[in-house]
Amino acid sequence: MAVIRLFAQAREAAGTGTTTIDAPTVAAVLDQAVARWGEGFAAVLAGCKVWVNGEEVPLATAVGDKDEVAVLPPVSGGS
């Protein structure tokens, strides 16, 4: 099972910051996350970057037990 970590709006939409999901690819992890957390999460996910183990990867990338999938919404801020 891959660990999925959610940040900012993705964490708010899911109601959690981390969980595990058993899926063979990044795309399958995200599909299961959307099935679990619904359309609000899907809407946030559409604008996010997805990284595995600290690197941006294609959605077809395989994931396993030791992998961390991070969902990173765009960052805004400044003064």
Q: What is the CATH number of the domain that holds 46?
A: 3.10.20.30
- Is residue 2 in a domain? no
In the chain, the number of structural domains is 1
What confidence score (pLDDT) does residue 74 get? 87
- Is residue 77 in a domain? no
What confidence score (pLDDT) does residue 75 get? 74
Domain limits for position 12:
7-72
CA distance 10 to 64: 22
Q: Residues in the chain with pLDDT < 50?
A: none
- Rounded to the nearest angstrom, the gap between the alpha carbon of residue 55 and the centroid of all alpha carbons in its chain is 13
- Is residue 51 in a domain? yes
- Is residue 18 in a domain? yes
- Is residue 15 in a domain? yes
CA distance from start to end of the chain: 41
